[in-house]
């Protein structure tokens, strides 16, 4: 079953390679979507793929890469959009 979620992560999440590591993690799990920095200092990621892989990606976002300090991760589900790849915006 395909699932799609949007995650907005706050804390020290910009300037710590969050987007690069997120892209690597998502591709390893065969997820599609994107990750981007938001103007307010948060990072936003959209993951689409198998339920378990999406759940694992959300769990990863709650920790982030080494050097990050995640304070909160807001998660919302969305209808699948048929993304074809995972990319950094």
* Interval 11-30: pLDDT, tens: 999 999 999 999 999 999 99
Res 9: pLDDT: 98
| Per-domain residue ranges of the chain | 2-88
Within 10 Å of residue 88's Cβ, how many Cβ atoms? 12
Res 1: pLDDT: 81
Is pLDDT above 90 for 39?
A: yes
Is pLDDT above 90 for 86?
A: yes
**What is the mean pLDDT of the segment spanning 54-80?**
97
Identify whether 19 is a catalytic site residue.
yes
Active-site position among 6, 12, 21, 37: 37
Extract the tokens encoding 59.
């769990």
Is pLDDT above 90 for 4?
A: yes
CB 7 within 8 A of CB 75: yes
Q: What is the CATH T-level fold of the domain 2-88, as seen in this structure?
A: Alpha-Beta Plaits (3.30.70)
Give the phi and the psi of residue 11 in degrees, each rounded to 5: 125, -150
Confidence (pTM): 0.95
CB 34 within 8 A of CB 9: no
Query: What Cα–Cα distance (Å) separates residue 36 from each residue in 1, 9, 11, 58?
Result: 25, 11, 15, 15
Active-site position among 4, 19, 29, 42: 19
* Interval 42-66: pLDDT, tens: 999 999 999 999 999 999 999 999 9
């Amino acid at each position: 079953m395909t699932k799609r979620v949007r995650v907005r992560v706050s804390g020290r999440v910009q300037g710590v390679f969050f987007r690069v590591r997120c892209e690597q993690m998502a591709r390893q799990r065969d997820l599609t979507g994107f990750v981007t920095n938001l103007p307010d200092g948060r990072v936003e990621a959209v993951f689409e793929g198998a339920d378990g892989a999406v759940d694992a990606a959300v769990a990863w976002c709650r920790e982030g890469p080494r050097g990050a300090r995640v304070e909160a991760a807001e998660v919302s589900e969305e209808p699948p959009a048929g993304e074809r790849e995972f990319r950094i915006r």
